[in-house]
Amino acid sequence: MDDAPSATPHRNEDMATMLAARVRAEFGDPAGWPRPEGYPDALALCAIDSIQSIGVRYESVGNVVTRYRKFRRDQGGDPAVDGLPQLLRTFEDVGGVEAWAARIGTANRTSTHPGAPLKALAIEQAANALSALDVLTCRDLRACESDQLEAVRSAWCGVPGQGSGTSWRYLLMLAGVPGVKPDRMIIRFVAGTVSRSEGSVSASLAAAVVLRAAEQLGVTATELDHVVWRRQSGRDTDDRG
């Protein structure tokens, strides 16, 4: 079966309907769902969280965000409104990528391949790439027209380890743009709902199905993504990656 959303729209619609039915049965009235918070005024935190979160326990990401916030507060800054210039300045202040990884970030790398760059490097490169396109804040990102947004997406996905687009989708969500982060938890939920193997459900298919199901349910894609992720991972494990 072709996973491309455009190739099987009727099948995707059927899967979305199945997903919406399961969500109604298991999660109840959306008015009672927990709402995702994100960082609608801090593109620096969006960049850190989205890149650090890929393939790791989310607890470690929360620790990075906490250390970044403390570092900026110790400097007299306000991390809740940091844009990319403030993020890039922290790399300068600590002495570069490796020092940033040791003091604020982690030793995690963008992939398991030998010699893969640190996620800290990916964060710095992504911040520079978006800054070169004059996207410095969440407001800038939300204001992008379609052509500009595609250029920003291309620049982001050109950073080591970000080519799948998963961190890009998550960046948008954290910045307040409704969407889906089709990580392993979301893929697992979609696959289980439609009785398919996880390996047969691509990230793009999972995202398309969740987006359409959200429309059927009358909620944002971000809200549906969040409640599904909480159920699949178990909130106590905070295992988003």
Mind listing the pLDDT tens digit for each residue in 42-88? 999 999 999 999 988 878 999 999 999 999 999 999 999 999 999 99
171: left (phi over 0), alpha (psi -120 to 50) or beta: alpha
Residues 16 and 112 in one domain: no
Confidence of residue 235 (pLDDT cuts 50, 70, 90): low
Cα–Cα distance for residue pair 28/8, rounded to 1 Å: 29
| Domain presence at residue 118 | yes
- H/E stretch holding 173: helix 166-174
Is 47 found in the same domain as 20?
Answer: no
- Domain of residue 14 covers 9-31+180-233
C-alpha distances in Å from residue 194, one per residue of 144, 153, 157, 201: 35, 30, 29, 10
pLDDT, tens only, 88-105: 999 999 999 999 999 999
pLDDT score, position 110 = 96
- What's the gap between Cα 47 and its chain centre? 9
116 and 155 in one domain?
yes
**Total domains present in the chain:** 2
The predicted model scores a pTM of 0.78
